Chain A
């Protein structure tokens, strides 16, 4: 009717100002807001879903030790090379302060945790990067630790898994940082020559020099859903081509569609997936044949 064409502005809601003490009554860390859909999720619930949103599947960022916890069998992890730390070889402005801050924030000595453990009972060497440590950048210490764990895996004839998260090379170490791409690559080439399995798991975000080296050198390269994966950052590309990038450009799904990934694996499935892959590559094979969920 005519009346419907001129709807009156009706207030259908009331604004309630929360009591100033309301914020304080919800202690820090009890709930988290999903960056994907905005849902408020209880921390316990989040924990139960391996820090992914139960509603939209958004994957929250994980610290390196948290990742170890979700991936390896409980209590199986043994850290190696934990004392390897960055120095400031170029006396780069503001670098020591950044290192110190990152160490205090993460409780880690460097941006990667290396060691070995088991996944569904099968031994594996792993390197897990931490995105909070100067944006997961790769300096000499990160390169050294990843190289050592690759060498360890070669010596021990063990499969190797890296979890990557990185803004790329660490500019404060300039050429040293670039050369870590080469260093880790030569170590992985030896591991590869020995017929051993290497799986790269790319998590959000994996870019720059890490994408252009070990993140893309796996026998299998897989990623978590929605992870941003690319060589150049979106900002750099947009500046170069003077256009906005389309929605979904450089997501894990996009990269898989373009043939660069073997699979996109939900975090809750990751342990099972890796377990299955490790089992399929066990030296000598498994006599009883392993039943899988697939």
Chain B
């Protein structure tokens, strides 16, 4: 049974009505096909309008949909001869991160990703896709192995974050992620990363340093989950929706900021509606990315990777020492207002300014 999200309710009602009409047609032998056709057209239009203008918080709900394809679903369809490899050689095998070797588009590659479960039982086993240090260390082991055998690396990211527990702290959750960042910065084989659902904080970043970063259309990626941000900033987790709006967490925002390189369109309603179609889109995108990256020599590859991260940020070096509070920004009411085209252009201008600043240096 499909899991429906709150904002999909009008669609569900419409679908039930259509089904009722169809049943009526069958049972009573009265031809209602015209009415059915009208309603179906209406349903199509409605779903298009709903999914075209999704709010950030609605996207978060789609990104967390339990029926979305998981990392292993992608791997099974994308790779032939896939062999899963286990363990970090230090402590244990973390089921929240999976990895291995497979053949993609004719070439052997190393695939790594966070793994969520489909049901409660599997989620408990997978720790809801929230990894421990040994998970990140397993990932690094497989990356170094890929480097040795000159295999490119493909990473799938779908995690609310690294697991905040006592064991993780004792075994150096911070150190494990930090190590991955600095090692991935200089890994001498191409790395392609895809945020397929949730990109939660350092736990996501620990697998997401690469040469080509993609996000699925409804995925989110930020420094913290909207719920946690709301509870820290406003001491109120129920303000998650507000936090989701303020933090600019959608794939579209991140493309605009120049942080992701490509957005992969999802089937109407989300990846969970047509997994096969989604996986095919991913296949074509990964193929393109690897084909392009394969042409680069190591030095060019690493220089481009350096530059990719080097330019991210927004700062100023204008004269003056104290931040002047702009008139508009002193009121918080701007949050409720519709974003205007003007403010968007301003933001883009600012970013262009930042990019200029960096190239000038």
Contacts and interface: CB of A to CB of B under 8 A. Distances in A.
Answer yes or no: do A and B interact. Answer: yes
Interface of A: 83-97, 99-100, 103-104, 109, 140-141, 143-144, 147, 169, 171, 173-183, 185-190, 192-193, 208-209, 211-217, 229-232, 236-237, 240-241, 245, 249-250, 255, 258-260
Contacts of A236: 164, 228
Nearest to A200: B178
A182 B186 CA distance: 12
17 contacts: A85-B315, A89-B347, A90-B247, A91-B334, A96-B323, A96-B326, A169-B201, A174-B249, A175-B254, A178-B202, A179-B309, A186-B306, A212-B177, A216-B174, A232-B164, A236-B164, A250-B169
Cβ-closest 6 pairs across A and B: A232-B164, A140-B313, A211-B174, A89-B314, A216-B178, A185-B181
A154 to B, nearest CB: 11
B249 A175 contact: yes
Contact of A258 (B171, B246, B321, B322): B171
Nearest to A233: B164
Interface residues of B, number: 69
A229 B174 CA distance: 9
A94 to B, nearest CB: 6
Nearest to B173: A231
User: Which of A86, A92, A143, A176 lies at the interface centre, i.e. has the most chain B CB atoms within 10 A of its CB?
Assistant: A176
A185 B246 contact: no
Contact of A171 (B165, B229, B305): B229
Contacts of A249: 166, 169
A177 B223 contact: yes
B186 A87 contact: no
A240 B306 CA distance: 36
Interface string B309-328: 11011111111011111100
A86 B310 contact: no
B202 A189 contact: no
B267 interface: no
B247 A174 contact: yes
B285 to A, nearest CB: 21
A64 to B, nearest CB: 15
A231 B313 contact: no
Given A183-B310, A193-B186, A209-B202, A217 B179 contact: yes
Contacts of A104: 322
B144 interface: no
A147 B185 contact: no
Q: Chain A interface secondary structure, helix, strand, loop or mixed?
A: helix
Contacts of B351: 89
B257 interface: yes
A111 B36 CA distance: 63
Given A209-B201, A240-B164, 10 more contacts: A86-B316, A87-B315, A91-B334, A140-B313, A175-B222, A185-B178, A213-B181, A231-B164, A249-B169, A255-B172
B224 to A, nearest CB: 6
Contacts of B334: 91, 93
A87 B247 contact: no
Contacts of B223: 169, 171, 173-175, 177-178, 209
Nearest to A258: B170
B295 interface: no
Given A99-B323, A179-B313, A237-B164, A91 B247 contact: no
User: Which of B170, B310, B315, B317 lies at the interface centre, i.e. has the most chain A CB atoms within 10 A of its CB?
Assistant: B315
Interface in B282-330: 305-306, 309-310, 312-319, 321-326, 329-330
A215 B174 CA distance: 9
B310 A90 contact: no
Contact of A178 (B175, B205, B232): B205
B350 interface: yes
A147 B313 CA distance: 11
Nearest to A148: B361
Contact of B323 (A91, A100, A177, A192): A100
A212 B233 CA distance: 21
Contact of A175 (B228, B247, B305, B319): B247
Contacts of A183: 309-310, 312-313
A182 B202 contact: no
B168 interface: yes
A109 B165 contact: no
Contacts of A169: 201, 223-224
User: Which of A236, A245, A249 lies at the interface centre, i.e. has the most chain B CB atoms within 10 A of its CB?
Assistant: A236
A41 B310 CA distance: 46
Nearest to A210: B174
A135 to B, nearest CB: 10
B271 interface: no
Contacts of B168: 231-232
B32 interface: no
